[in-house]
A = this chain, B = another copy of it.
C-alpha cells in the first residue's frame, strides 16, 4: 500500500499545499478499491477524528480531480457523484442497482468499435463510458433484484 509520504509527494507535484485534510482524503481514496461519495468521505474524516466541513470535502475533491488525482463519476439513478483515486487505467464498471456500489472492470471490449464508429459518423470521438448494471451478490441476497 502507498505510504502517506507518497500522497504528500503527489500533492506537492501538483503544486498543492499538503494539508492534513488533503492527505487524509487522498489517502482514504487511495486505499479504497471502489468509488466513494463526498458524504462518505466526510463521514470517514469525522470517524478518523478529523474535523472538517462538508464544503471543504467538496472543494478538496474538486481540486484533486482538477489536478488529475481523482476521477469523478456522475451517477445515474443516484444524484450523488462518486470519487475514485485515479490509477490511470482505462476501465469500466459493474454498477449495482440495489446499492449503487461500483466495481471496476479492467477489460475494455470497445477499442476497435470506437475507431469504426468515428469513420462512420461526423463525430470526433474523445472517449466512452460503459457502465454495466446489475445486482451484486449482497443485494441478490437481500432480494433487491426485482
A25-82 contacts to B, CB under 8 A, are: 73-77
A-B contact pairs, 15 of them (CB 8 A): A74-B77, A76-B129, A94-B121, A94-B125, A109-B110, A110-B110, A118-B134, A122-B140, A124-B135, A125-B133, A125-B134, A126-B135, A127-B132, A128-B133, A130-B131
The complex is assembled from copies of this chain, and their number is 2
**Contact B132–A125 (Cβ < 8 Å):** yes
Q: Does any Cβ of B come within 8 Å of A7's Cβ? A: no
**Range, interface on chain A:** 35 or more
Q: Which residue of B lies closest to A75 (CB)?
A: B74
Interface positions of A (Cβ within 8 A of B): 73-77, 94, 96-97, 103, 105, 109-110, 113-114, 117-118, 121-137, 140, 145
Q: Smallest Cβ distance from A108 to chain B, in angstroms? A: 10
Q: Smallest Cβ distance from A10 to chain B, in angstroms? A: 25
Known interface pairs A109-B110, A137-B122; A117-B129 also in contact (CB < 8 Å)? no
Q: Please, how many angstroms separate the alpha-carbon atoms of A114 and B132 in the complex?
A: 8
Chain B residues with Cβ below 8 Å from A114 are: 132
**Contact B128–A140 (Cβ < 8 Å):** no
Q: Please, how many angstroms separate the alpha-carbon atoms of A131 and B117 in the complex?
A: 12
Given A123-B135, A125-B133, A127-B132, 6 more contacts at CB 8 Å? A74-B74, A94-B121, A109-B110, A127-B133, A128-B130, A129-B130
